Structure 1
Amino acid sequence: MKTLLKSQILRSFWILRLHHRWFHRHNRFLGSPIFAQYEAQSQGEQQLPEYFNFASDVLDKWSQIEKEGKRPSNPALWWINGRGGEVRWSFEELGVLSRKVANMLSNQCGLCKGDRVLVILPRIPEWWLVTMACIRTGIILMPGISQLTAKDIQHRLQASKAKCIITTDAVAPAVDSIAGSCNFLQTKLVVSEGPREGWLNFKELCKEAPDSHACVRTKIHDPMVIYFTSGTTGAPKMAEHSQGSLGFRPIAHKRYWLDLTPADIMWSTADTGWVVASLGSVFEPWALGSCVFIHSLQQIESTIILNTLSRFPITTILGPPTLFRMLAQSDLTSYKFMSLQYCLSGGEPLNPEVMEQWKSMTGLQIYDLYGQTETGMICAVKKGMKIKPGSMGKACAPYQVEVIDEEANVLPPGKEGEIGIRVKPQRPLGFFSRYVVVKAFVVLSPAYTLQDKAKLTLQLQEHVKKVTAPYKYPRKMEFVKELPKTVTGKIRRNELRNQEWGRV
């Protein structure tokens, strides 16, 4: 991924290194009466509120609607473990319990608005309580998958300067092995039935915590969640999301993607450490008052998925293509999905054969979607659109997405190119921390090798400002023993650039 600027026409795109010939912004909702409203949102014409907090403005509002008897009897969170364990919480119960956890984080853990907490929990109800509690307090949540190693956890704690970590007994030993090297870590909280030395016990503290809590007032652009990328081109990087980019966005385009209602029950099979879990099992369904269904899924097996879809009134399922490929190879004759209406897939392209096979077996279409850690949902095949095999559908508001060439020229329909997201005039939160800057690599002569490098950097920067336009001076500087060169003695600048991208 890289940023490409065209200063002459003030156009800037975030380029995703993924070639796709089927996406084009001029795809239309076929006959949709709300298309014009969608276009207004995607062009940024809808006014955003200055203040917004998902816990108080969404969760608590649905709790009030429940009390007034204006919402179906579906729970807000319906969790099972496949072994007889079950939790059914209403929005009111979620509110009470998340306020208790909010008090626990603020009081016993000593955290306050803006502090960061690393949360490594499997698909257990406590993850949803911690998520809402962090939002209530303005504490920045950083989810992680349970498969993280000690080294992975160390990197996340050090890079984020997290003050607290919340996890289970299974991960706690890995945390203890590296905690001493994480200078900002102050509190360790374990979700466990018993005590653990050096750790606060989540369940015990939650029992004692009061259920009265005043939600902090957060602005719509205040940070809410940080996700770490997969780290395919270097160390995992932090991608920040705000109250607006994850929390308010589902409200803004609620009728254009999932189109859920309070009577719907949605099941996202994603691990809690990925951004799709936030989208599919927190913000999207709860923004619409729907029930979030969760199976602990210690292992993904077709029989578990099929039995669950048959036994429970799930109306919408969101899973990766591998899930649907696995299900399409199963014998479905003994299963009946009486409630299932909507199937969504994302993470990688879904081959047309699986889509056709699934439809012939169940009568249901699979709607494709595409996003990434930094953005959330970028584009999706929405209800009302004709499904085309291989198509990623239409751009999701507020993103303006085009297929472009290497010079950021918009390509016509049917042409293959790069997927570009416009980042001007306003930079979307979570993409990057700054634009590309000039960096100089300097080989010192023997007379300067012992000099103070910080002073040398300032001197060289001032020198460049005097001999050329001041804005051209190198913002970063690295002193090296030698530069990579070709056999003819030319500097291999590509190697230096690639080295820098690996460090980002």
Structure 2
Amino acid sequence: MLGKYLEKIEFSSYDDFVNDYKIKVPDNFNFAFDVVDKYAEEEPEKTAIVWCNDEGEEETFTFKELRDYSNQTANYFRALGIKKGDAVMLILKRRFEFWFSILALHKIGAICIPATHLLTEKDIVYRNNAADIKMIVAVGEEEVLQNIDKAAVKSPGLLKKVMLNGCRDGWHVFNEEIKGYSSSFNRPQGDSAISNDDIMLIYFTSGTTGMPKMVQHNFVYPLGHLITAKYWQNVRNNGLHLTVADTGWAKAVWGKLYGQWLVGSAVFVYDYNTRFNATDLLGMIEKYRVTTFCAPPTIYRFFIKSDLSKFDLSSLEYCVVAGEPLNPEVYNRFLEETGLELREGYGQTELTVTLGTFPWMDVKPGSMGKPAPGYNIELHDREGNVCGVGEEGEIVIRTDRQKPLGMFGGYYRDKELTQRVWHDDMYYTGDVAWRDEDGYYWFVGRADDVIKSSGYRIGPFEIESALIEHSSVLECAITAVPDEIRGQIVKASIVLAKGYQASKKLARELQDYVKKITAPYKYPRIIEFVDELPKTISGKIRRVEIRAKDN
């Protein structure tokens, strides 16, 4: 499969990779037909998905079965009135019907909008009307269904509601009604044919400010994730890859679908309904012999607090990390316990892997790595000047020579917002970093989160990383508080771990602790102990909400 899309597969060095990596993009590429159905034709019994849940159920799906189920689903959706260009929202958590449904929508040429089950009525109303959603397919959970029912009253364009199982007025039932539909589905032709530039996927980003943005990707987007899977996650043919993500988030298609299957790896799905439990997940990695693994640093922090010696993790060949800066202490502890280096990466919903620690590179714990092929990256200061080594600046992607394959096509139905962040052939990510003398990039924070105190620029993540190392700190957020003398001072909002009590003594201890790990001027002059931190529905800390309270 790889040879069909890559001019060169193996590389001798990072420079070789950057200079010679080239993707062959076919006309009218469609991942569902050209990858999934192709496997079904050539290797019908090849494993695509290994699925299990915390109730002991398990399923394995071959590519032939995926082809047949996705064809059935496509015929079913068509019968419900879905056609090319229609928007359909999937709220399916980690149910295997998500894969049937997204592939079916690709085959029809409809626009898939994955979403989380945590959406409220207000969230669903906004999405329905902003994207003109015609149909929602959802898990049969009462709270989810109630929110959709309430939102439907305020969503005149919503025509169909589909639940996986159960019985409810006004709803279709997926697993009952699909049975009568054919497992054959012909590739659309004529006016229904799908082109590379058609919109395939829209994600509503859960930004820390303002309403969610609609990030649109076209039908060649999956090919952009060849780098994600093959050269960052290092998945292999006939391996078993696990990315920890709900299907409502973009991370799911980064790690549970496109790049993995292009390389030939099966994806492992652990559908847990209870709260995340590190020992349960470690048990699944051991039982199913997962070969490659991707998760945010928080998961690895939970891992190293568990007794890793109780688990046989010998199947793991490669582990990567993204989503927030990696604490070197977590890196070192995981390496000691498993012998595996954690390789960091960086990207956005708008992008694919943009920076990464690729196989030919030495690991620098805490660094995002170097630019991926196709990404021409600069750091710009507040005046728009290009930053030198060691200088902090906003990550900017130049698109004058080429647009990286897999980069978004703008914000759906919002030219003004698109123009605000992407103009003069430069896309402004809103993220601040600095570059060292070896060309490695280091994350500082969102541009709005950087603190200016007494002439110093202070990134919140370095201080948060230091505080997280203290045994008393479960979670924390660093923000700026206005100060007449210094302009701004650093504040830490801290959720304490079990067994610790808030006190002035503990606050001083934490301040001294930060001074020992970072430059003394960065320590938090204000420490507030809180029960919880405000977050977006995707779990990102809303520092803007903390700042608003303090201003």
On whether the aligned pair clears a TM of 0.5, the verdict is yes
- Which moves more between the two structures, 266-275 or 396-405? 396-405
Cα offset for 1:363?
0.6
Q: Alignment partner for residue 76 of structure 2, among 81, 87, 104? A: 104
Residues 1:228 and 2:204 are matched in the alignment: yes
The whole-number CA distance in structure 1 between the counterparts of 2:387 and 2:23 is 27
Q: State whether residues 375 and 430 of structure 1, in contact with CA within 8 Å, keep that contact through their aligned partners in structure 2.
A: no
The residue that corresponds to 2:519 in the other structure is none
- Deviation for aligned residue 1:342: 1.0
| Residues 161-185 of structure 1: CA deviation (Å, up to 9, x unaligned) | 0110111222111111121211111
Q: Secondary structure at the match of 2:299?
A: helix
Q: Hey, what's the Cα distance between the residues in 2 that align with 1:184 and 1:126? A: 24
Q: Identify the match of residue 435 of structure 1 among 419, 439, 460.
A: 419
Q: Which amino acid aligns with 1:191?
A: L
1:83 aligns with 2:32: no
Contact (CA 8 Å) 1:116, 1:139: kept in 2 or not? yes
Q: Aligned runs of 1:53-452 on 2, under 5 Å? A: 53-67=30-44, 75-107=47-79, 109-170=80-141, 171-192=144-165, 194-216=166-188, 217-245=193-221, 247-251=222-226, 255-298=230-273, 299-424=275-400, 428-432=407-411, 433=415, 434-436=418-420
* AA at the equivalent of 1:59: V
SS of the equivalent of 2:93 reads coil
Provide closer, same or farther for how the CA distance between residues 288 and 230 of structure 1 changes in structure 2, counting only shifts above 3 A.
same
Cα deviation, residue 37, structure 1: 4.8
User: Which structure has the higher relative contact order (CA within 8 Å, separation 6+)?
Assistant: 1
Greater mean deviation of Cα atoms: 368-377 or 235-244: 368-377
Q: Distance in 1 between matches of 2:69 and 2:255?
A: 21
Distance of aligned partners of 1:183 and 1:211 in 2 relative to their CA distance in 1, 3 Å threshold:
same
C-alpha separation in 1, matches of 2:51 and 2:218: 27
TM-superposition CA deviations, 1:400-425 (whole Å, max 9, x none): 22222234433233322211111336
Instruction: Name which of structure 1's ranges 413-422 and 254-263 shifts more when overlaid on structure 2.
Output: 254-263
CA distance in 1, matches of 2:361, 2:151: 50
Instruction: Give the conservation status (yes or no) of the 8 Å contact 2:237–2:265.
Output: yes
SS in 1 for 2:408: coil
Rounded Cα–Cα distance in structure 2 between residues aligned with 1:223 and 1:155? 20
> Which residue of the partner structure matches residue 39 of structure 1?
19
- Contact kept, 8 Å, 1:401 with 1:419, in 2: the verdict is yes
Residues in 2 aligned to 1:410 and 1:58: alpha-carbon distance in whole angstroms:
41
Question: Residues 182 and 103 (structure 1 numbering): CA distance in 2 closer, same or farther, change over 3 Å?
Answer: same
- C-alpha distance in 1 between matches for 2:15 and 2:32: 29
1:219 Cα deviation after fit? 2.0
Structure 1 vs Structure 2 CA RMSD: 2.1
Structure 1 residue 94, shift from structure 2 partner: 0.4
User: In structure 2, what is the Cα distance between the partners aligned to 1:375 and 1:83?
Assistant: 36
Q: Matched residue of 1:293: which SS?
A: strand
Residues 74, 107 of structure 2: 8 Å contact kept: yes
In structure 2, what is the Cα distance between the partners aligned to 1:35 and 1:63? 36
Q: Percent identity?
A: 36
Q: Provide the rounded CA distance (Å) in 1 between the counterparts of 2:23 and 2:313.
A: 39
List runs of 5+ in structure 2 lacking aligned partners.
Answer: 1-10, 422-543, 545-551
For 2:163 and 2:55, locate their aligned partners in 1 and report how far apart those are by CA, in whole Å: 23
**Secondary structure of 1:142 counterpart:** strand
Larger radius of gyration: 1
Hey, what does 2:444 align to over in structure 1? none
Matches of 1:259 and 1:158 in 2, distance apart? 40
Q: Per-residue deviation at 1:252?
A: 6.8
In structure 2, what residue type is equivalent to 1:429?
F
Give the 3-state SS of the residue equivalent to 1:389 in structure 2: coil
The equivalent of 2:536 in structure 1 is: none
Deviation string 1:81-135 (CA, Å, 9 cap, x unpaired) is 022201100011000000000111111x101011000111110100111111111
Matched residue of 1:163: which SS? strand
How many angstroms does 1:263 deviate by?
A: 1.8
Query: Is the Cα–Cα contact under 8 Å of residues 27 and 196 in structure 2 kept in the other structure?
Result: yes
Contact 2:237–2:263 (CA<8 Å) still a contact in 1?
yes
Q: CA deviation at 1:389?
A: 1.7
Q: Which secondary structure state, in structure 1, belongs to the residue aligned with residue 257 of structure 2?
A: helix
TM-score when normalising by structure 2: 0.69
Q: How many residues align?
A: 397
Contact 2:227 2:353 in 1 (8 A): no
Query: Alpha carbons of 1:46 and 1:91: their partners in 2 closer, same or farther (altered >3 Å)?
Result: closer
Name the SS for the 2:168 alignment partner. Answer: coil
In structure 2, give the amino acid aligned to 1:133.
Answer: A
Cα distance change, pair 47–314 in 1 and its aligned pair in 2 (3 A): closer
Distance 1:133 1:413 in 2: 48
User: What is the deviation of 1:74?
Assistant: 5.7
In structure 2, the residue corresponding to 1:178 is in which secondary structure? helix
CA contact (8 A) 2:230 2:259 kept: no
Tell me the SS of whatever aligns to 2:130. helix
Contact 2:376 2:398 in 1 (8 A): yes
The 1:254–1:191 alpha-carbon spacing in structure 2 relative to 1, beyond 3 Å, is closer
Q: Residue deviations 1:260-306, cap 9 Å, x none? A: 22221001111111101011000111111110100002221111111
Matched residues in 1 for 2:374 and 2:70: separation? Answer: 30
Question: Does the CA-based 8 Å contact 2:13-2:360 persist in structure 1?
Answer: no
Q: Pick closer, same or farther for the CA change 1:253–1:327 going to 2, 3 Å.
A: closer
Q: Contact 1:264 / 1:315 at 8 angstroms: preserved in 2?
A: yes
